[in-house]
Structure 1
Amino acid sequence: MTTTDDGPAIHVSPLPTAAEPLRPATILPLLAKPSTGPEEARVRPGAGRTHVLTLSGSAAGGFGMGLLLTVALGLIPLGWLFIVSYLWFLLLYTALVYLRQPAPAVRNGLLTILLSSAGAAVAGTLGLVVVFTFARGQDALFHLNFFTTDMSGAGPLSGLDQGGVLHALVGTLEQIAIALAITIPLGLTTAVFLNEVGGRLARIVRTVVEAMTALPSVVAGLFIYAAVVMSITHQTNGFAASLAITVLMLPIMIRSADVVLRLVPGNLREAGLALGAGQWRVVWHIVLPTVRSGLTTAIILATAHGIGETAPVLLTSGFTGVMNANPFSGPQTPLPLAALDYVRSPVPGMVARGFATAAFLLFVVLVLFILARIIGGQDPGKQTPGQARRAAAKSRRELPRIERNHAQLLANPGAAPSNNLQENQ
């Protein structure tokens, strides 16, 4: 296009002659795509209005039939109300879904309802146990003396403002501490042996550990009672109870740590070996730090399992209502045994103390499982914000030494750099 006095002039390219080949036309795929009509509606996941109405109608109809058969007509005992209502709910839900959906959708919906009901039943049962325990023990649980005194100055008929479970709390803490002091090193080294060494002996050890997982707790108590109490100490004490708890905690610790160590990628081990590190140096500086959070979770799960055991300590620890801070001499009562003994009492005040002890024990175990859930959710090798801050602080502390070594190398190229980490401290 050119400009003249009369305005812009448009030049039209001449048509190609016979001597000139035709140039291929440019085709845009998206523009050349034929129209497919209006866009189809998107499928949104989740429960629709029809599904919600079907569930609510089936639940209402099932509960109504349960009331009719148990309360109104009396054909079925009242204790079967929820079971009968649930069966009618399944029948009505299947029929309603079958009227609108094909057979595969009916099977899918029925299986979904059954699995959801199983999960709700487990959660509801656990919630019912927790609520019932806290409700029965709330009268004693909200007294400060319950956590600060023992039963030395209180009798069975004393009020709830007298006496407590301080002696049982101290006994549980000491026994769990001793059990952890034995379980952690033995469990970690066994898990490392199973993963890093292997061989025929490792297969035998793994079989024994899996068999110990199903060991009844009373058998562990009987074993420690016969091997330690009757043969060595000749009296029940806290240390014997700690050994019985260790027998039950050890397989949980080994299996959990074994599963975690299997998650370490093999290329990390290969990289360490390729850089010249030995096998155990790779384990200590690469494998174990990579799964630190998982190993911590294993320790917490083993602790939560051992802190609530009653059968082994019933045979090995003995019972006393006074403070005994020496686990190697005399009976030392833990929290589970105190709760069992108090609940068996015919006095209402002692029963309230027993349920309060059980509620406190449930709270401790719940906190341990929450900590295990939080810590175990961290990916292997991933740093938390706190760990990243500590690593950055360590790097800042090491920076002067690195700069000093760099300056020494520039001044004297033949000198070896200093690796003494104590210079900055």
Structure 2
Amino acid sequence: MSHAAAVTDQRPSTLRGASLPKWSPWAIAAGSVAVSVGIGLAAGLDSKVQWGLIAGLIFLVATYGIAAGVEGRRQAKDRIATALVWVAFLVAVVPLVSLVWVTVSRGVKVLDIYFLTHSMGIVADSQPGGGIYHAIIGSLEQVGLATIIAAPVGILTAVYLVEYGRGGLSRAITFFVDVMTGVPSIVAGLFILSLMLIFNMEPFGFAGSLALAILMMPVVVRSTEEMLKLVPNELREASLALGVPKWRTILKVVLPTSIGGIVTGVMLAIARIAGETAPVLLLVFGNRFINNNPFEGAQQSLPLYIYQQYANSAGANAAYDRAWAASLTLIAFVMILNLAARAIARWKAPKTGR
């Protein structure tokens, strides 16, 4: 190789044009925030949400303009797509973080052992004291009974649709499951209420469980159906080729393979119904005292407790604080369920390596 060729090989490639430094998005974002703050103050905008929207718009426009001038339009389009993803992410995360922050900051005022182990009893809404023990028991019993009803029915329905379902019956079941997925909770409550009125029944906790089970079933069916479809057909065929009956193949091969996803779907469905208020308000009515029997008498639940305390909080800071503390407890309950679902999914996930 000649000396000229060696020198040519050492030159930087001219195929790659100029590019912005790695810190440029952060600089553009900081400049966008500064400009949006200036615009907000000059225009007299009091809402921080408006400032954030203006900053996001300025960030997108500035990113495209600077990138197009330095790197060209093609690279600018790539950067604007990335910027849109980040803006959408912030739009989704900021309200969630704000919600958690407000709930925690206001809920910790009265959240202690006493609050978790006492009921309202004879404590008036305008007075300090009282707790949510009766509401925790009511929620656990109502959601637990709903799970006992909905989980087996939903799982067996999904097994039928995936393993046996063919023809018009399968299509009809799939259609009604889709319809039930979008049914408002108040409609499920009205359905159970109509049955209670026919049989002249008084409000009781199990009635709320029936309405919650109606809301939970389609979620369990859909999640379980998707998990069963992920099981490779080779496993089924290998089991059947060994002479194992189909029912035993489902019981010993298909369900154990997908059990992690099924349990995760059930727990997410529980989290979905744990915060429902309308069916409980219609069917359970609430109770200031402890009622451990869900089959007799009115019973309390956490969502209904939050609604009643907030509705009666006019001029009473104690009721307002109790509502926020109960909200924090409910969020913690749902968060624990989600973390448990993730842990089970990871624990039962197929191991691909040593």
1:350 pairs with 2:350: no
Aligned to 1:224: 192
1:198 pairs with 2:165: yes
SS at structure 2 position matched to 1:108: helix
1:77 deviation in Å? 2.8
1:168 pairs with 2:135: yes
Instruction: Write 1 or 2 for the structure with the bigger share of helix.
Output: 2
Show CA shifts across 1:214-273 (max 9, x none).
11111111111112x212352111011000100110001000000000010001111111
Aligned to 1:131: 101
The answer to whether the 8 Å contact 1:210/1:251 transfers is: yes
Aligned to 1:156: 125
Call closer, same or farther: CA 1:124–1:38 in 2, change over 3 Å: same
1:78 deviation in Å? 3.0
**TM-score (ref. length: structure 1):** 0.75
Call closer, same or farther: CA 1:383–1:114 in 2, change over 3 Å: closer
Show CA shifts across 1:248-307 (max 9, x none).
100010000000000100011111111111110100011111111111101111111111
1:37 deviation in Å? 4.2
2 CA distance for matches of 1:70 and 1:109? Answer: 26
1:67 deviation in Å? 2.6
1:316 pairs with 2:283: yes
2 CA distance for matches of 1:95 and 1:205? Answer: 53
Q: How does 1:402-417 map to 2 (within 5 A)?
A: none
SS at structure 2 position matched to 1:139: coil
The answer to whether the 8 Å contact 1:58/1:90 transfers is: no
Q: How does 1:175-214 map to 2 (within 5 A)?
A: 175-200=142-167, 201-214=169-182
Aligned to 1:248: 215
SS at structure 1 position matched to 2:158: helix
2 CA distance for matches of 1:152 and 1:326? Answer: 17
Aligned to 2:245: 278
- One of 236, 255, 270 as aligned partner of 2:203: 236
Show CA shifts across 1:337-373 (max 9, x none).
0011111222101110111001000011011111212
1 CA distance for matches of 2:230 and 2:63? Answer: 43
The answer to whether the 8 Å contact 2:116/2:133 transfers is: yes
2 CA distance for matches of 1:264 and 1:93? Answer: 45
Call closer, same or farther: CA 1:280–1:196 in 2, change over 3 Å: same
The answer to whether the 8 Å contact 1:342/1:350 transfers is: yes
Aligned to 1:215: 183
Call closer, same or farther: CA 1:352–1:383 in 2, change over 3 Å: farther
1:378 deviation in Å? 4.9
1 CA distance for matches of 2:186 and 2:353? Answer: 41
Report the RMSD for the aligned CA atoms in angstroms. Answer: 2.3
SS at structure 2 position matched to 1:50: coil
Aligned to 2:91: 121
1:40 deviation in Å? 7.8
2 CA distance for matches of 1:51 and 1:219? Answer: 53
**TM-score (ref. length: structure 2):** 0.90
1:380 deviation in Å? 5.0
2 CA distance for matches of 1:265 and 1:184? Answer: 24
SS at structure 2 position matched to 1:244: helix
SS at structure 1 position matched to 2:21: helix
Letter in 2 for 1:115: V
1:81 pairs with 2:51: yes
1:62 deviation in Å? 1.9
- One of 25, 33, 37 as aligned partner of 1:55: 25
Call closer, same or farther: CA 1:279–1:380 in 2, change over 3 Å: farther
2 CA distance for matches of 1:86 and 1:97? Answer: 16
Call closer, same or farther: CA 1:157–1:379 in 2, change over 3 Å: closer
Pick 1 or 2: higher relative contact order, CA cutoff 8 A, min separation 6. 2
1 CA distance for matches of 2:93 and 2:51? Answer: 20
2 CA distance for matches of 1:245 and 1:238? Answer: 11
1:374 deviation in Å? 2.4
1:92 pairs with 2:62: yes
Call closer, same or farther: CA 1:277–1:124 in 2, change over 3 Å: same
2 CA distance for matches of 1:304 and 1:82? Answer: 31
Call closer, same or farther: CA 1:193–1:117 in 2, change over 3 Å: same
1:125 deviation in Å? 1.2
The answer to whether the 8 Å contact 2:67/2:73 transfers is: no
1:94 deviation in Å? 1.4
The answer to whether the 8 Å contact 1:291/1:381 transfers is: no
2 CA distance for matches of 1:299 and 1:342? Answer: 30
Letter in 2 for 1:327: P
The answer to whether the 8 Å contact 1:289/1:381 transfers is: no
1:383 deviation in Å? 9.9
Query: What number of residue pairs does the alignment pair up?
Result: 339
The answer to whether the 8 Å contact 2:310/2:319 transfers is: yes
1 CA distance for matches of 2:58 and 2:144? Answer: 52
SS at structure 2 position matched to 1:323: coil
- One of 231, 236, 256 as aligned partner of 1:264: 231
The answer to whether the 8 Å contact 2:185/2:276 transfers is: yes
1:39 deviation in Å? 10
The answer to whether the 8 Å contact 1:248/1:306 transfers is: yes
Call closer, same or farther: CA 1:40–1:186 in 2, change over 3 Å: farther
SS at structure 2 position matched to 1:377: helix
- One of 316, 326, 336 as aligned partner of 2:293: 326
